[in-house]
């Protein structure tokens, strides 16, 4: 579906063309070779490019992420740089002061890296495994639902409503996450269900 020559591709070719032809035309062919021999390669040429969308506001600016390593190839990948996508019709390569610093959001020192548990009355978190965390949650949910699911209204209508557990969904997760979340939450009868759109 991509058009043959993207705007970025065009800029790259045009830039290279101007350099080669003008230098060549002025008789600097050898100088160019000498220059190329000692100039360090553009850092991003060895990275993997991935298309994504800015995670902040709903303008949804197109971005390109540059990483060491290729996730698609099953490798561990580290994002090195993020910039605006010049082919994107909305932002045409530009980013705002928030989007321009996206890499530092991805690498924020306060990113969470492992599940943690805070006991009643405690002053600190302690590390737990995913299994421990999810087992604890599943058990708490089942016990609460079994104890508190309102199955029938006063008028005798089946209502299957669970009001003692609530779920707040996000605002930057994908549609796919949202749909899976919807399925799970609704199948349990949870009605205290909301997302950031409420505020």
Partner 1 sequence: MTNAWTDIKNTDLVIVMGGNAAEAHPCGFKWVTEAKATRGAKLIVVDPRYTRTASVSDYYAPIRPGSDIAFLMGVIRWCIENDKVQWEYVRNFTNAALLVKDGFGWSDGLFSGYDEEKRDYDKADWDYQIGDDGYAKLDMTLQDPRCVWNLLKAHVDVYTPEFVENVCGTPKDRYLQICEMIGECSAPERVMTSMYALGWTQHSKGAQNIRGMAMLQLILGNIGMRGGGMNALRGHSNIQGLTDLGLMSNLIPGYLNIPTEREPDWQTYMSTREFKPLRPGQTSYWQNYSKFMVSFMKAMWGDAATAENDWAYHYLPKLDVPTYDVLRMFELMKQGQVNLYFCQGFNPLMAFPNRAKLTEALSKLKLLVVMDPLETETAHFWENHGQYNDVDSASIQTEVLELPTTCFAEDEGALVNSGRWLQWHWPGGSPPGEAKNDTWIMANLFQKLRKLYQDEGGVFPEPILNLSWNYADPLDPKPEELAKEMNGRALRDIEDPANPGTTLVAAGKQVKNFTQLQDDGSTMCGCWIFSGCWNEDGNNMARRDNSDPGDAGMFLNWSYSWPVNRRILYNRASADMQGKPWDPDRKLIEWTGEKWEGYDVPDIGVTSKPGEVMPFIMNQEGTSRLFTRGMMRDGPFPTHMEPFESPIANVLNPKMRGNPVSRVFVDDAEQFATSEEFPFVATSYRLTEHFHYWTKHNKVNASLQPEFFVEISQELAAEKGITGGSRVRVWGKRGQVWAKAVVTKRIKPMQCDGKTVHVVGIPLHWGFMGAAKKGWGPNSLTPFVGDANVETPEFKAFLVNIEPAAEEPVA
| Least distance (Å) between residue 153 CB and partner 1 | 5
Phi, psi of 193 (to 5 degrees): -125, 125
| Least distance (Å) between residue 58 CB and partner 1 | 4
| Least distance (Å) between residue 147 CB and partner 1 | 8
- Which lies closer to partner 1 via its Cβ, residue 18 or residue 43? 43
- Which lies closer to partner 1 via its Cβ, residue 31 or residue 138? 138
At residue 79, the 3 state secondary structure works out as: strand
74: left (phi over 0), alpha (psi -120 to 50) or beta: left
- Which lies closer to partner 1 via its Cβ, residue 46 or residue 196? 196
Distances from the Cα of 36 to the Cα of 17, 41, 58, angstroms: 15, 9, 43
- Which lies closer to partner 1 via its Cβ, residue 22 or residue 171? 171
Nearest to 71 by CA among 49, 102, 93, 38: 49
| Least distance (Å) between residue 128 CB and partner 1 | 8
């Amino acid at each position: 579906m991509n058009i043959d020559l993207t705007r970025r591709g065009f800029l790259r070719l045009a830039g290279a063309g101007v350099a080669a032809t003008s230098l060549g035309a002025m008789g600097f062919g050898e100088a160019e070779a000498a220059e190329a021999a000692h100039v360090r390669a553009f850092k991003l040429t060895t990275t993997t490019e991935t298309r994504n969308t800015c995670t902040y506001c709903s303008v949804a600016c197109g971005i390109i992420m540059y990483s060491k390593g290729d996730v698609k190839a099953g490798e561990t990948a580290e994002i090195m740089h993020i910039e605006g996508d010049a082919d994107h019709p909305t932002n045409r390569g530009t980013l705002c002061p928030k989007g321009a610093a996206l890499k530092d959001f991805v690498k924020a020192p306060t990113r969470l890296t492992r599940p943690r548990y805070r006991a009643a009355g405690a002053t600190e978190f302690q590390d737990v495994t995913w299994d421990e965390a999810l087992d604890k949650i599943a058990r708490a949910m089942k016990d609460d639902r079994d104890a508190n699911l309102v199955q029938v209204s006063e008028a005798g209508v089946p209502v299957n409503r669970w009001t003692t557990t609530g779920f707040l969904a996000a605002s930057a997760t994908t549609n796919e996450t949202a749909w899976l979340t919807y399925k799970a939450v609704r199948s349990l009868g949870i009605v205290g269900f909301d997302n950031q759109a409420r505020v």
